[in-house]
A and B are shown apart, each in its own frame.
Chain A
Amino acid sequence: MQIQSLYQEIILDHYRNPHHKGLREPFDAEVHHVNPTCGDEVTLRVTLKDADGDPVVADVSYDALGCSISQASASVMSDLVIGKPVGEAMRIAQEFLDLMQSKGEAAPDESTLEDAVAFAGVSKYPARIKCALLGWMAWKDATGRALDETTGHAS
Chain B
Amino acid sequence: MTLDVGRVRKDFPILDRQMRGGKPLTYLDSANTSQKPRQVIDAISGFYERHNANIHRATHELGEEATAAYEGARIKVAGFVGARDESEIVFTKNVSEAINLVAYSMGNASAGAAAPARFRLGPGDEIVVTEMEHHSNLVPWQLLCQRTGATLRWFGVTPDGRLDLSQLDDLITERTKLVSLVHQSNVLGTVNPVRLIADRAHAVGALVLADAAQSVPHMPVDVQDLGADFVGFTGHKMCGPTGIGVLWGRRELLDEMPPFLGGGEMIETVWMDHSTFAAPPHKFEAGTMPIAEAAGLSAAVDYLSETGRAAIHEHEQSLLTDALTQLTELAGVRILGPTEAADRGTAISFEVDGVHPHDVSQVLDELGIAVRAGHHCAWPLHRALGVQASTRASFYLYNTHEEVTALAAGIRQAQQFFGVA
Contact A6 B362 (CB under 8 A): yes
- B277 CB within 8 Å of chain A: no
Residues A65 and B363 in contact, CB atoms below 8 Å apart:
no
Q: Is the CB of A39 within 8 A of B375?
A: yes
Contact A39 B379 (CB under 8 A): yes
Are B388 and A39 in contact, CB atoms less than 8 angstroms apart? yes
B164 within 8 A of A: no
- Interface 9-residue window, one of B56-64, B179-187, B261-269, B351-359: B351-359
User: Are B362 and A3 in touch, CB under 8 angstroms?
Assistant: yes
Q: How many residues of B are in contact with the other chain, CB < 8 A?
A: 19
In the complex with contacts A2-B21, A38-B389, A67-B359 CB distance below 8 A = yes
Question: What mask results when residues 26 to 53 of chain A are scored 1 for a CB within 8 Å of chain B, else 0?
Answer: 0000000000011110000000000000
How would residues 48 to 75 of chain A score, 1 for a CB under 8 Å from any chain B CB and 0 otherwise?
0000000000000000011111000000
- Bound together, the chains give a CA A149 to CA B344 distance in angstroms of 53
Closest to B21 in A: A2
Q: State the interface size on chain A (CB cutoff 8 A).
A: 19
Known contacts A40-B389, A65-B388: A131-B358 contact under CB 8 Å:
yes
User: B362 contacts A40, CB within 8 Å?
Assistant: no
Task: Please give, as numbers and ranges, the residues of chain A lying within 8 Å of B419 by CB-CB distance.
Answer: 16
Cα distance, A125 to B379, chains bound together (Å): 24
Residues of chain A contacted by B48 (CB below 8 angstroms): none
Number of A-B contacts (CB under 8 A): 49
- Closest chain A residue to B363, Cβ basis: A3
**Main SS of the interface on chain B?**
helix
The reply to whether the CB of A128 lies closer than 8 angstroms to some CB of chain B is: yes
Q: Is A40 a contact of B388 with CB atoms below 8 Å?
A: yes
Residues of B within 8 A of A3 (CB): 362-363, 366, 417
CB distance from A21 to the nearest CB of B (A): 16
Within 8 A of A (CB), among B377-407: 379, 382, 388-389
Inter-chain contacts of A66 with B (CB < 8 A): 356, 358, 388
Judging by beta carbons under 8 Å apart, are B356 and A68 in contact? Answer: yes
User: CA of A38 to CA of B382 in the docked complex: distance in angstroms?
Assistant: 11
* B20 / chain A contacts, CB cutoff of 8 Å: 2
A39 contact set on B, CB distance < 8 A = 374-375, 379, 382, 388-389
B362-A128 in contact (CB<8A)? yes
| Contacts known (A38-B375, A39-B382); A67 close to B366, Cβ less than 8 A | no
- Listed from nearest, the 3 A-B pairs whose CB atoms lie closest are A67-B358, A67-B356, A38-B374
Give me 17 A-to-B residue pairs in the complex whose CB atoms sit less than 8 angstroms apart, sorted by A's number.
Answer: A3-B363, A3-B366, A6-B362, A7-B362, A7-B417, A12-B418, A37-B374, A38-B389, A39-B388, A65-B388, A66-B356, A66-B358, A67-B357, A67-B359, A68-B418, A69-B358, A131-B358
